[in-house]
Amino acid sequence: MPLEGCHAYLPTRETILNGKYPLTRALNIYVDRAPGKPLPPLAQEFLSFVLSQNGQTLVASYGSVQVPADQLAAQRARLELP
């Protein structure tokens, strides 16, 4: 028996990003950085790659949704990455 007013959404990139498809989760990466100190070189290199176009292409190749461009830019700026 269908529920009135309920909608089903396929897990497409669009429905994931706009929040209509509810079964999603974010991947958070935490780095231990002292306030006012630079990132450790290895952590900076890793985050720089993950937030780069090449890193995001790799993410997509595994079937995950890439981080939207505006969020990538914000995170790169926040971490002071080139």
- Please check whether residue 58 lies inside any domain of the structure: yes
- Please check whether residue 5 lies inside any domain of the structure: no
- Please check whether residue 44 lies inside any domain of the structure: yes
The total of structural domains in the chain comes to 1
Exposure string of 33-55, with b = 16+ CB inside 10 Å and e = fewer, is eeeeeebeeeebeebeebbeeeb
Range of the domain at 47: 13-78
Q: What is the DSSP letter of 27?
A: P
Q: Which of 9, 8, 79, 13 is nearest to 43 (CA)?
A: 79
Confidence category of residue 1, pLDDT binned at 50, 70, 90: low
pLDDT in tens, 36-82: 888 889 999 999 999 999 999 999 999 888 998 999 999 999 887 76
| Ramachandran sector of residue 9 (left: φ over 0; alpha: ψ -120 to 50; beta: rest) | beta
